[in-house]
Chain A
Amino acid sequence: MKTKNIIALLVMILPALPLCGQGAKRINEIKRDSRYIYAESTMPEASDAYELAKSLLVNYAKDYAVENGIGGDYYGESNVLAQCDSIQLNRGDKTKVFVYFMKAEVSGLASKPGTEPAKAPVQEEPRVQNQPPVPVQGTPVERPAPPAPPVPAPAEPKKSEPASVKVTSSSASGMLPEAWQRKVIDELLSSSSFAEARGKLPRMKQEFQVKRFGRYAECKDVSKAFWLVGDSSGKLVTVLGPGGIRTDFRSGATASLDSYNGYELIWFTLYTNK
């Protein structure tokens, strides 16, 4: 292959790469966010998928209203369909349509629009770059997507000594219920640097010990995560356990994540049961 052909290929592919997975990622964000009600359908024809997804959404909305004792027509069909948005994904020779709405918007209890910029509905996720979008017959109501759920922003960087209260257990990692979980924490703590500890997480995920990990901004539930804590010199300071008052697995003391403002933080979760 000639060099200039390869460069031309790179130029074509590179812009599309960030889009790969964007639609699926947004769908999962919504599924994880309890403020939304959603439904999905995958059918050979996009229009059929859209109609079925809307029908399911209306049913789920009614179920939600009944389960929560919400009277009136807030979650009635016309309200739900007027407020819902959709995301469409290619699924090989079928199309997936995901429809959703925010409960607060439908019930009229929405707070003032947030400062986050409204995102345009994600229409298509090219699995292979040369697949054109499939038009949906019956255009869904065009509205900007609801603002993204608030992500906990790191506090102003300021270093402080962690508060400590001694725990009485013999070994901090011993507080974990499973032996393999204790082994994971001990292995992370044995790392000579923060980078080395962070580098172990992908392998631990492959081995079904670590379930997920990521940067601070990507953490959906700070209280449920473990944390790798690193300082500005690249040293691994400690590993913190989940909860409001956390276990510092290095010292055995209890600590708060707030005490590590300004430190490098990577969150991870463990499988709790195998």
Chain B
Amino acid sequence: MLRNKILIILAVLLAPVTMWGNVDFEISDGISDPSLKAKMEYQASALLTAVNRAASSGQPVNFSGIEIDDMASFSIAQLWNTARFRTFDDDIITKALRLTSGGRLRGYELRNIEVELFPLDDSYMGSKTQEVCIEFSPYGKITDFNFAIEQNQYMQIFREGTKVEDFDQRMQILHYLEQFRTAYNQKNIIFMDAVFSDDALIITGKVIKRVKSEVPLPPEIEYTRQSKAQYLANLKKCFDRNSYINVVFDDIKVLKHGSKPNYYGVTLTQHWNSSNYSDEGILFLVWDFSDEDAPKIHVRTWQPIETPSGEIFTLENFKI
């Protein structure tokens, strides 16, 4: 009898620590319209509460009552297929960032929302702490949901910007990089099909194993060119083979094309962890922001991490 009473006391005392209930969300700065601010706070609160409840119950996330774009709800559902997640805090305060394009307001972003991952595959490798960012339309509807790039990378991208227009486009690049990275984690082949231009140049490098030599030689790398169709077909097979994919982007450098202002070259280190395979490599992407709502990747190259720095692809290697 005493033992049962003690167990009940234990359960009651630990309940606040273990139950994932309502998330209170507050925007501390960044939105002057109180009505819009209240709406966004409510939407963020409702969405994160739904996520926490789904994590607790093991059910899919219930989006009813939440004003959310199909793309955003699809993004969350795709992530849910590989890992559950829930917020660390149930009282979150963050600033809203304005997203602009050509001087026009295109929405808002809420960042610094930390979540804990519960991967469905026990062999998952990588950090189980992620930051998410929620994007809103100018009218307060949730339009996107992504895992954020690590904060120091995010700051680095902006430190390199010099002008306001450049700042806007760097925000966009960051956003699309986060979408791109999240798409791998979601195994979202539809996004990959949309983001690569039809005539995209895709090059993959492979280190050729040399016979051992007394004199250390630089690595010899063999390059293979693929069409978009070939690349996506191989990527789909990879998605099907692996129960989870965890991609992290690191050491991101962004360079604007000298004569074509809508083109950016992005070089980064890609850490790839999946249930069947892991590697590190240097990814180079050429992004075209001529259509701001649907930027395209025209060039994607992957080189092994040991590639000498003088051989890493840059904008200068490609005629655009």
Contacts and interface: CB of A to CB of B under 8 A. Distances in A.
A13 B24 CA distance: 26
A6 B6 contact: yes
A274 B150 contact: no
Interface residues of B, number: 39
A86 interface: no
A179 interface: no
Contact of A42 (B2, B13, B114): B114
Nearest to B46: A208
Contact of B38 (A20, A28, A273): A273
Nearest to B67: A274
B234 interface: no
B128 A93 contact: yes
Contacts of B42: 208, 271, 273-274
B131 interface: yes
B3 to A, nearest CB: 5
A7 interface: yes
A52 B22 contact: no
Contacts of B93: 28, 31-32
Contacts of B9: 10
Highest count of chain B CB atoms <10 Å: which of A10, A13, A91:
A91
Nearest to A49: B151
B59 interface: no
Contacts of A153: none
A253 interface: no
B208 interface: no
Contact of A43 (B16, B112, B151): B151
Nearest to B24: A212
Contacts of A52: 151-152, 155
B162 interface: no
B10 A6 contact: yes
Given A96-B114, A272-B34, A13 B13 contact: yes
Contacts of B128: 92-93
Contacts of B17: 17, 20
Contacts of A44: 127
B146 to A, nearest CB: 16
A93 B24 contact: no
Contact of B3 (A6, A208, A272): A6
A139 interface: no
Interface in B1-51: 2-3, 6-7, 9-10, 13-14, 16-17, 21-22, 24, 26, 28, 34-35, 38-39, 41-42, 45-46
B88 interface: yes
Nearest to A127: B88
A92 B152 contact: no
Contact of B22 (A43, A55, A56, A205): A205
Interface in B229-247: none
Given A94-B129, A208-B45, A273 B151 contact: no
A38 to B, nearest CB: 9
B6 A10 contact: yes
Interface in B109-162: 112, 114, 116, 127-129, 131, 150-152, 155
B35 A272 contact: yes
Contacts of B112: 40, 42
A21 to B, nearest CB: 8
B198 interface: no
Contacts of B129: 42, 91-94
Interface string B74-111: 00000000000000110101000000000000000000
A69 B302 CA distance: 48
Given A9-B10, A28-B93, A52-B151, A92 B39 contact: no
Contact of B28 (A31, A43, A205): A31
A206 B39 contact: no
A155 interface: no
12 contacts: A3-B3, A3-B6, A10-B9, A13-B13, A14-B13, A20-B17, A28-B93, A41-B151, A52-B152, A91-B88, A206-B22, A273-B42
Given A24-B88, A52-B155, A272-B35, 19 more contacts: A9-B10, A10-B10, A20-B16, A24-B89, A31-B93, A32-B28, A42-B112, A42-B114, A43-B152, A44-B127, A96-B114, A206-B22, A208-B22, A211-B24, A212-B24, A272-B38, A273-B39, A274-B39, A274-B42
For the complex of A and B, the 10 pairs showing the least CB-CB separation, nearest first, are A92-B129, A273-B38, A272-B38, A31-B93, A273-B39, A94-B129, A3-B3, A6-B6, A91-B129, A271-B42
